[in-house]
Amino acid sequence: MLFVKDFKYLNVGSIKLTDLEGSFKNITAFFIDIRNYTKLSNVKSPEVVINFIKEYRNLVNAEFKSDSGSLKDNICEIIYIGDAVLIILNSDNTETLKKTINCAKKVRDKMFKLLSIWQSDDSYTGVPLSFFKNISFGIGISQGKVYVESSDYIGSPLNHAAKIGDMRELSNRKTHIGIDKEVFSKLHSENLTKNSKCVGQTKDNEYVDLLIFENEYREIDD
């Protein structure tokens, strides 16, 4: 263990920054995170958990890769992090943002149907899987510049998307689709700035619940 008194023996000034071998890229990040996944893993068999995760991942992938969504050509990476899926899109323009929001809403609707099926499906255990009534999810969207080296992505948009998706306090509902307030302001709508509600905040950013805005004002992509 290193103690404060040992710092005098460290040659901190010798740290050398190497030349970056990668490049910077403007991206859109989509992140979806399952609620109560740890408890699900504890109370259900590995077969049940794995089959559910596979179906959930396939649902998200299919929506982003569908011809109707027009986002499949923009996909840089699809990254699986346990019960979470991170999709990185090769653009941060407004059109990509609108398409990502619409795609997120379709994913939300299909996830509701999937969870409903799993609540009543007895094909794996012989009895209804009622625990799936406790499962919900959060979606986060962000945009900005990241550093890319090989298949390694580093940057705040990825952190923000994950943080928004994981913020249970973003709204009173179990499920939300959240977005950086700054990114949200890029959408061209006369009411966006004055009517968007900041419903979540950390030290470095503010977040807007897209479903609250859509329900109280109008369609986001008007």
What is the domain-level CATH number for residue 117? 3.30.70.1230
Number of domains in the chain: 1
User: What is this structure's pTM?
Assistant: 0.81
Q: Which domain holds residue 32?
A: 23-216
Least-confidence region, from 13-27, 86-100, 113-127? 113-127
Quickly state the pLDDT bin for 127 (edges 50, 70, 90): low
Examine residue 92 and state whether it is found in any structural domain, yes or no. Answer: yes
Q: Are 208 and 181 in contact (CB under 8 A)?
A: yes
CB count within 10 Å of CB 163 equals 22
pLDDT of residue 202: 59
Examine residue 46 and state whether it is found in any structural domain, yes or no. Answer: yes
Distance CA 56, CA 111 (A): 7
Examine residue 221 and state whether it is found in any structural domain, yes or no. Answer: no
In the predicted model, what is the mean pLDDT of the chain? 78
Distance CA 142, CA 109 (A): 20
Distance CA 65, CA 75 (A): 8
Say which amino acid occupies 66. S
For the segment 9-21, the average pLDDT, to the nearest whole number, is 64
Examine residue 8 and state whether it is found in any structural domain, yes or no. Answer: no
CB count within 10 Å of CB 28 equals 26
